[in-house]
Chains A and B, each alone.
Chain A
Amino acid sequence: AQSVTQLDSQVPVFEEAPVELRCNYSSSVSVYLFWYVQYPNQGLQLLLKYLSGSTLVKGINGFEAEFNKSQTSFHLRKPSVHISDTAEYFCAVTPDSGGSNYKLTFGKGTLLTVNP
């Protein structure tokens, strides 16, 4: 079984400041990792994913994340945030072998609030 811990439930930042949202996972098997974003009253949208290869992955809207296998982490970063980045961010994992048919296990989410 897998579990995901998002260390901060809320992160307030000022516009144009950098931000890091932290995610740690636990799994007995290799996993694929994802970050999803949920804007108010909307569904989930994929920001980026790590499947294999380079541990630094770039996503949409200027976000990037780094996979660290030894620390079982997949932190999300953005060098300069905008008001429009205000949303809830979810880290998720799934076994890379297709175990449980690629169901996603999510963290509790981090609410990013960007203030002017």
Chain B
Amino acid sequence: DSGVTQTPKHLITATGQRVTLRCSPRSGDLSVYWYQQSLDQGLQFLIQYYNGEERAKGNILERFSAQQFPDLHSELNLSSLELGDSALYFCASRDTSLETWYNEQFFGPGTRLTVL
């Protein structure tokens, strides 16, 4: 158990719909990362938040957005869903309290999104 939790575990929805994926980082971790794992694209970085602020952006579609709340949990919002958005979405968190040395990312179990 990494200490990172993600809900829901599975999500089945229709094209055109909007969904919200939730991530709770490890206790005390200020940094949250979102990744998408799909069959054709592999594992890709989407976006990172640090203590409520967006810090880095990857290959995230404009239809997707994220935020990190004061309690440090994060949500990834996916709208106008398409068949190709079906994927496993991972959240990871990282301890940034010791910036003099690198601390690795710990991954949650993922949310499997199926768009029908």
Question: B-contacting residues of A (Cβ < 8 Å)?
Answer: 32, 34, 36, 42-46, 49, 51, 90, 96, 98, 100-109
B104 touches A101 (CB 8 A): no
- Which residue of chain B has its CB nearest to the CB of A109? B42
Q: Are A101 and B56 in contact (CB under 8 A)?
A: yes
Given A101-B56, A103-B48, A105-B45, 4 other A-B residues pairs in contact with their CB atoms under 8 A: A43-B109, A44-B92, A44-B107, A100-B56
Check if B108 sits within 8 Å of A43, measured CB to CB: yes
Residues from chain B with Cβ under 8 Å of A90 in the complex: 43
Shortest A26–chain B CB gap in Å is 16
- Majority secondary structure of chain A interface residues (helix, strand, loop or mixed): mixed
Contact-size category for B: 20 to 34
Instruction: Name the B residues within 8 Å of A34 (CB-CB).
Output: 104
Residue of B nearest to A108 (CB): B42
B residues in contact with A102, CB < 8 Å: 94, 102, 105
Measured in the bound complex, the distance between the Cα atoms of B6 and A44 in whole Å is 13
Interface residues of B (CB under 8 A from A): 2, 4, 31, 33, 35, 42-45, 48, 50, 55-56, 58, 90, 92, 94, 99, 101-102, 104-110
**Which chain B residues border A32 with CB–CB below 8 Å?**
102
Contact A45 B2 (CB under 8 A): yes
Chain A residues within 8 Å of B43, by CB: 90, 106, 109
Report the separation of the CA atoms of residues A37 and B43 in the bound assembly, to the nearest whole angstrom: 13
**How distant is A8 from chain B, measured CB to nearest CB, in Å?**
14
Residues of chain A within 8 A of B106, CB atoms compared: 46
- The answer to whether residues A103 and B107 also contact, given A44-B90, A109-B43 and a CB cut-off of 8 A, is no
Known: A51-B102, A100-B56, A102-B94. A43 touches B45 (CB 8 A): no
Chain A residues whose C-beta falls within 8 Å of the C-beta of B92 in the assembled complex: 44
B53 nearest CB across to chain A (Å): 11
